[in-house]
């Protein structure tokens, strides 16, 4: 165990590692132990202090776009800009304790060779430390790395994926169509006979990665709206146009993105089309599937897919009746402005993106 712990010291100081790996439980536990020992060593020094944490910055200014050399795939990633978070600032103590508490709980989960959902983790933490976690939102912020003020990133600190921490993704995803999925040792699931409700996407990324996939589809179609997905599945759209339908019921969750990426790897010749609403939120959903996000910049490469835009364009609008339009809300305008100001999306998509967003705003 000592050799394993020593071999993991490198991760704590190697600032070039700007991605989160999927690593075995023994390695994750060793990394947690290194973090604890490093913290205690400074506390036990002749001039004791609370150490700062070197974290990869999860900010737009530290994000870049990676363009594949042999493929059309592009994704968001974080460069090696490191921010040193001081834990001696006012009001930073509680956020600091939360991170260590989640780390402790993850260590115990991995020690027992178990996995939990974020909601299960919330209840465990609520029973153990109710004064630290008054709501599930606080737990999610800790796990995802976005804490109020401190913004301590547990994934960036340990340089491993959330799944490696023993935390399963919460999935809203559904899939239907010309796809057969089979878990090792279990019966195959034919997604073309699952009815209008489709087949539920598992939140266990390890299980999704082990699926044996067979398909005779010509397209993969992402459907933003659950109701539209149900209608297409009920009408057996995939029988008329051989396709695989997948929805995350809005903004994509990690498990749905992982399965989509898994299918795209298994069938690299199938084009992936996204049918989204003609509004800023629809474009943001498309961009998340296609590029990932800055918030998950350490893991985006594992979920990004070469998604094409399917649906309305600006030149289609004159053909629509006035009653088809709905005024944009304040949140819609904020999303539009955020997309238009994103340096990442301006690299190769500025003309299409800006034109679409400008029409949306002017239409309002």
What's the pLDDT tens digit per position in 125-143?
778 887 776 666 655 655 5
Q: Does residue 319 lie in a domain region?
A: yes
Q: Does residue 72 lie in a domain region?
A: no
Residues 12, 155, single domain; the answer is yes
User: Residue 363: pLDDT above 70?
Assistant: no
Of the residues 19, 75, 107, 123, only one is catalytic, namely 123
Residues 125, 33, single domain; the answer is yes
Q: Does residue 144 lie in a domain region?
A: yes
| Per-residue CA distances from 85 to 13, 46, 94, 177 (Å) | 15, 22, 14, 48
At 9 the pLDDT is: 41
Residues 101, 140, single domain; the answer is yes
Per the structure, the complete domain to which residue 149 belongs is given by 2-51+87-167
At 145 the pLDDT is: 42
Q: How many domains does one find in the chain?
A: 2
At 323 the pLDDT is: 84
CA-based torsion, 363, 292, 13, 153: positive or negative = positive
User: Residue 320: pLDDT above 70?
Assistant: yes
Residue carrying structure tokens 């023994």: 26
Average pLDDT, stretch 271-276? 95
Of 156 and 161, more confident? 161
Least confident range of 73-87, 103-117, 212-226, 227-241: 73-87
**Please, what is the average pLDDT of the chain?**
76
Residues 121, 180, single domain; the answer is no
Q: What are phi and psi of 215, to 5 degrees?
A: -150, 150
Residues 17, 46, single domain; the answer is yes
User: Residue 121: pLDDT above 60?
Assistant: yes
Q: Does residue 80 lie in a domain region?
A: no
Q: Which of 113, 142, 167 is the last residue of a domain?
A: 167
Q: Check if 123 is active-site.
A: yes
In angstroms, the CA 12 to CA 159 distance is 8
Q: Which of 120, 152, 167 is the last residue of a domain?
A: 167
What's the pLDDT tens digit per position in 28-78?
999 999 888 887 887 777 765 555 555 545 554 445 555 544 345 554 445
Alpha helices in the chain (DSSP H): 2-7, 9-13, 25-43, 93-111, 118-128, 136-144, 154-158, 205-210, 226-234, 237-240, 254-266, 280-291, 330-341, 343-363
Residues 185, 156, single domain; the answer is no
DSSP, res 153: -
Average pLDDT, stretch 168-178? 90
Q: Could you give the percent of the chain with pLDDT greater than 70?
A: 66
Residues 122, 14, single domain; the answer is yes
- Classify residue 54 by burial, with Cβ atoms within 10 Å: 0-12, 13-18, 19+: middle
In angstroms, the CA 257 to CA 285 distance is 11
Residues 346, 199, single domain; the answer is yes
Residue carrying structure tokens 């491993």: 160
- The highest-confidence range among 76-90, 261-275, 292-306, 334-348, by mean pLDDT, is 261-275
Q: Does residue 136 lie in a domain region?
A: yes
Q: Could you give the percent of the chain with pLDDT greater than 90?
A: 29
- Classify residue 293 by burial, with Cβ atoms within 10 Å: 0-12, 13-18, 19+: buried
Residues 118, 263, single domain; the answer is no
Q: What is the CATH number of the domain that holds 256?
A: 3.40.1360.10
Q: Does residue 70 lie in a domain region?
A: no
- Predicted TM-score of the model (pTM): 0.75
In angstroms, the CA 136 to CA 15 distance is 31
| Per-residue CA distances from 209 to 144, 198, 212, 307, 339 (Å) | 22, 20, 9, 20, 32
Of 185 and 12, more confident? 185
- The highest-confidence range among 33-37, 64-68, 117-121, 332-336, by mean pLDDT, is 33-37
What are residue 64's DSSP bridge partners? Answer: 77
Q: Can you read off the two tokens belonging to residue 38? A: 């490093």
Q: Can you read off the two tokens belonging to residue 311? A: 């649906």
Q: What are phi and psi of 52, to 5 degrees?
A: -80, 160
User: Who's near 19: CB < 8 A, 6+ residues apart?
Assistant: 77, 78, 159, 298, 299, 301
Residues 8, 43, single domain; the answer is yes
Residues 338, 190, single domain; the answer is yes
Q: Which of 141, 167, 193 is the last residue of a domain?
A: 167
Residues 112, 257, single domain; the answer is no
> At 11, is the pLDDT very low, low, confident or very high (cuts 50, 70, 90)?
very low
Average pLDDT, stretch 200-219? 92
Of 120 and 109, more confident? 109
At 347 the pLDDT is: 56
In angstroms, the CA 350 to CA 337 distance is 13
Residue carrying structure tokens 């153990």: 128
């Amino acid at each position: 165990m000592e050799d394993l712990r020593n071999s993991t010291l490198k991760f704590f100081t190697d600032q070039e590692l700007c991605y989160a790996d999927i690593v075995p439980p023994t390695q994750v536990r060793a990394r947690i132990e290194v973090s604890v020992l490093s913290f205690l060593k400074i506390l036990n020094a002749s001039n004791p202090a609370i150490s700062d944490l070197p974290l990869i910055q999860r900010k737009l200014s530290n994000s870049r776009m990676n363009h594949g050399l042999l493929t059309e795939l592009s994704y968001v990633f974080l460069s090696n800009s490191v921010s040193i978070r001081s834990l001696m600032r006012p009001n930073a103590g509680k956020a600091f304790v939360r991170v260590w508490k989640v780390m402790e709980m993850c260590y115990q989960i991995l020690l027992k060779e178990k996995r939990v959902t974020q909601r299960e983790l919330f209840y465990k933490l609520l029973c153990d430390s109710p004064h630290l976690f008054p709501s599930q939102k606080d737990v999610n912020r800790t796990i995802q790395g976005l804490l109020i003020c401190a913004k301590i990133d547990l994934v960036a600190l340990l340089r491993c994926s959330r799944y490696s921490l023993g935390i399963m993704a919460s999935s809203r995803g559904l899939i239907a169509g010309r796809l057969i999925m089979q878990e090792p040792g279990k019966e195959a699931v034919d997604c073309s006979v699952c009815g209008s409700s489709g087949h539920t996407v598992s939140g266990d990324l390890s299980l999704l990665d082990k699926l044996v996939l067979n398909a005779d589809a010509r397209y993969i179609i992402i459907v933003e709206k659950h109701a539209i997905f149900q209608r297409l599945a009920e009408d057996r759209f995939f029988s008329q146009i051989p396709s695989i339908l997948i929805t995350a019921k809005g903004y994509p969750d990690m498990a749905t993105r992982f399965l989509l990426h898994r299918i795209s790897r298994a069938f690299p010749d199938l084009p992936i089309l996204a049918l989204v609403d003609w509004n800023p939120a629809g474009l943001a959903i498309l961009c998340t599937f296609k590029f990932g996000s800055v918030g998950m910049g350490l893991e985006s490469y594992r979920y990004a897919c070469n998604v094409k835009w399917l649906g309305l364009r600006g030149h289609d609008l004159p053909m629509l009746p006035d009653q088809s339009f709905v005024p944009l809300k304040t949140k819609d305008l904020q999303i539009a402005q955020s997309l238009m100001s994103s340096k990442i999306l301006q690299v190769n998509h500025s003309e299409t993106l800006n034109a679409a967003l400008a029409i949306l705003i002017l239409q309002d």
